[in-house]
Amino acid sequence: MAWAQQSEMQVHNADVLIIGGGLSGTMLAVQLLRLAGTRRILVIEPRAELGRGEAYSAVELGHTLNGNAARMSVDPDNADDLTQWLTDYIAGGGWPESDQQHVPVSELFPPRGIFGLYVQQRLAEAKALSTSTVEHIRAEGVDLQVEATSTRVTLDTGEQLHGAFAVLATGMFPAARTPQTESTGLNAAALDPWDVQAMTQLDPQSTVLIIGSGLTMVDAVVSLEQAGHRGPIEIFSRHGLLPHVRRHPPSWDDFLAADHRLRSPRQLLREVRRQCRIALDQGIDWQAPLDTVRVHIARLWSQASEREKRQFVRHVRPWWESHHHRSPPLSAQLVARLQEEGRLRIRAASFKGLVPSDEVVAIAVRHRGEQGLTRVSGAALINSSGIEYDWRRVARPLPQQLLKRGLVQPGPLALGIAADAAGAVLDAQGQASQRLFAMGPPLRGMWWESTAVTDVALQAKALATKLTHLDLRLV
């Protein structure tokens, strides 16, 4: 398509504008490339490389996927795709450290940086075989407008891109790296959980404080270990729960497929517990029946009432997160060892703010069951409170502009943004857009589990098919 000039700014014409070039945006590009026809795709991503995003830009080998290779294929038509790629990669001399895990390739937990390379290679292969084109626009999208026949994205460079359709594939907003509209100052005082180099500057014997006890915390502990830290680690979490270790349980009957009467969070929780007790009585890992729930989450969540969703988030979510979003074995072993040594302690307490201090980092926490606040100090602080899904709290230009313009509305329970079943974004009046779509983590409120690799891969295939069946011409 031709390039044009408008208002002294360069305007790019494209069939699809993909805002975000991490896993979500890259997988959508791959699926579009694989479909018949010729179309131009622009991927707007400020990082130097596509396919990595926040999750897979890690460079330390210790920061691994929390799922084994058999669970992490980016090809929705081939569950063994990552296993096959990894087998060839290791045979070619890549990742020699893989033999330390002493398991078959399908059970390996690859470093996230290597997984990012896998995604990039799948993109390169799709580009080589397609008549369509993908171009990486290295910039940040700061505004978006939807017109009758096209969409227009404004970049932080001042340029504007026009596309027949735009897709919000913005990925996750890690709390540790995302400016907040109502900032507590936590991030300004905290170390990045993945910045090993910064952690090497700490006194190795000093005390480090960590807010949050999920998988980001596990990454932070791995980072500290690789940086040579040998001092105490104090973790504060509202419920005091740690992620369970991911194991490889045997198959289990899909009890939810057999009984669709199980709908409410209470019914689901009761039946899952019953199934886990049956498994344990048979000497089978409780993770076996729990793992069968995974494929039904989107259906269960979408059919639940607003009240049931709130009940789940308030009463079940912490246990769901710790039991389902599990830690890779080597990382879990490290956390367990530090606990046994008495170096790592987890407290059921809520973070209530920073406390002014000249020489140390000090915070105020409220321990569970107590009314008063307790002051805790250390040499460093790490924010491991997970992902910020509420776009109203994300102080980034694009989410704020989209909300301000009424082009999007918060999703259920303010998790991400609202959309219809096909990913068409709902505006402030609840109307489904004909031009603006979303996929991946922004749809957390729609499907609950909308961040896992397999979920993103399935969404990418479905959305690519939908877009190619629409009129992709710029009118």
Q: Read off the pLDDT of residues 82-117 as tens digits, 9 standing for 90 and up.
A: 999 999 999 999 999 999 888 999 999 999 999 999
What burial letters (b/e) apply to 155-194, b meaning 16+ CB within 10 Å?
A: beeeebbbbbbbbbbbbbbbbbebebeeeeebbeebbbbb
Distance CA 163, CA 48 (A): 22
Helix (H) / strand (E) containing 153: strand 151-155
Lowest mean pLDDT among 60-69, 261-270, 291-300, 375-384: 261-270
Distances (CA, A) of 309 to 50, 63, 236, 359: 35, 32, 26, 44
- Residue 182 scores a pLDDT above 90: no
Q: Which of 184, 160, 155, 115 is nearest to 5 (CA)?
A: 160
Mean pLDDT of 374-378: 95
3-state secondary structure string, 25-80? HHHHHHHHHHCCCCCEEEEECCCCCCCCCCCCCCCCCCCECCCCHHHCCCCCCCCC
Q: Which of 386, 374, 388 is nearest to 210 (CA)?
A: 386
Amino acid at 294: R
Q: Helix axis angle, 112-129 relative to 23-34, nearest 10°?
A: 20
DSSP state of 326: P
Give pLDDT, residue 67. 92
Q: Which of 38, 23, 49 is nearest to 171 (CA)?
A: 23
Beta strands 344-355 and 432-438 are unpaired
Mean pLDDT of 471-475: 50
Give pLDDT, residue 12. 67
Amino acid at 280: L
In DSSP terms, 338 is beta-bridged to none
Q: Measured in Å, how far apart are the chain's first and last C-alpha atoms?
A: 12
Tokens of 190: 């905290």
27's CB contacts (< 8 A; 6+ apart) are 74, 119, 456, 457, 460
- Mean pLDDT, the chain, rounded, equals 92
**302 versus 159: which is more confidently predicted?**
159
Give pLDDT, residue 315. 85
Give pLDDT, residue 7. 41
Distance CA 85, CA 80 (A): 9
> In this structure, which CATH number among 1.25.40.10, 3.50.50.60, 3.20.20.60, 3.40.640.10 belongs to the domain 4-63+111-173+389-469?
3.50.50.60
Structure confidence at residue 8 as a pLDDT band (50, 70, 90): very low
- Residue 10 scores a pLDDT above 70: no
Q: Specify the CATH number of the domain 186-244+326-383.
A: 3.50.50.60
Beta strands 133-137 and 40-44 are parallel
Mean pLDDT of 181-208: 89
Tokens of 350: 């809520």
Which segments of the chain belong to CATH 3.50.50.60?
4-63+111-173+389-469, 186-244+326-383
Lowest mean pLDDT among 79-83, 149-153, 304-308, 404-408: 304-308
Give SS3 for 245: strand
Distance CA 459, CA 17 (A): 17
